[in-house]
Amino acid sequence: MSVEIGSKVKGKVTGITNFGAFVELPGGITGLVHISEVADSYVKDVNDHLTVGDETKVKVISEKDGKIALSIKKAIDKPKRPSSSSYSKQGDRRGKRNFQPKESFEDKLSNFLKASDENLSSLKRNTDSKRGGRGGRRG
Residue 82: its pLDDT value, please?
62
The list of the chain residues with pLDDT below 50 reads 139
Separation of alpha carbons 35 and 33, rounded Å:
6
Residue 105: its pLDDT value, please?
86
Separation of alpha carbons 32 and 129, rounded Å:
73
Tell me which residue range forms the domain holding 48.
8-71
Residue 135: its pLDDT value, please?
55
- Domain with residue 34: its CATH number is 2.40.50.140
Tell me whether residue 35 is in a domain.
Answer: yes
| Total tally of structural domains belonging to the chain | 1
Tell me whether residue 23 is in a domain.
Answer: yes
Residue 138: its pLDDT value, please?
53
